[in-house]
Amino acid sequence: MALVEDTGLDAVDAGPLEDSWRQQPGAPVYCTDLTRDEMGPALAAAEKKRLPKRRDLSVAVIQERVGDGTTNPDANWGVRLVRAINM
């Protein structure tokens, strides 16, 4: 934790390895650019059975939006998308 803090990032103890699924694609913390204070509640809100469906929905929306190769969303589009789906 100290090493991460020393690099200028905010470290968050997300729990034991057996709970690492709470950070997988489709989880409320995955690619949602949360603050340190928002991380704990978001980790607690993760529902394992919903992760695959949310992940697949995110991928489908991204493919539909940028799959033609001509659309280039702004830098925050992906964060807004996964926040809307995962949270």
Q: What digits encode the pLDDT tens for the residues 51-65? A: 999 999 999 999 998
Domain with 43, as residue range(s), is 16-86
pLDDT given for residue 70 in this prediction: 84
Average pLDDT of the chain? 92
> Dihedral sign, CA of 73, 75, 76, 81?
positive
30 in any annotated domain: yes
71 in any annotated domain: yes
Confidence band of 67 (pLDDT split at 50, 70, 90):
confident
21 in any annotated domain: yes
pLDDT at 72 over 90: no
63 in any annotated domain: yes
Query: Per the structure, how many domains does the chain have?
Result: 1
76 in any annotated domain: yes
* Model pTM score: 0.79
Alpha helices in 1-87, H assignment, sequence order: 2-6, 36-45, 51-66, 77-86
Rounded CA separation 30/23 (Å): 6
CA dihedral 74, 34, 9, 11 (to 10 degrees): -150
User: What is the arithmetic mean of pLDDT over 20-36?
Assistant: 94
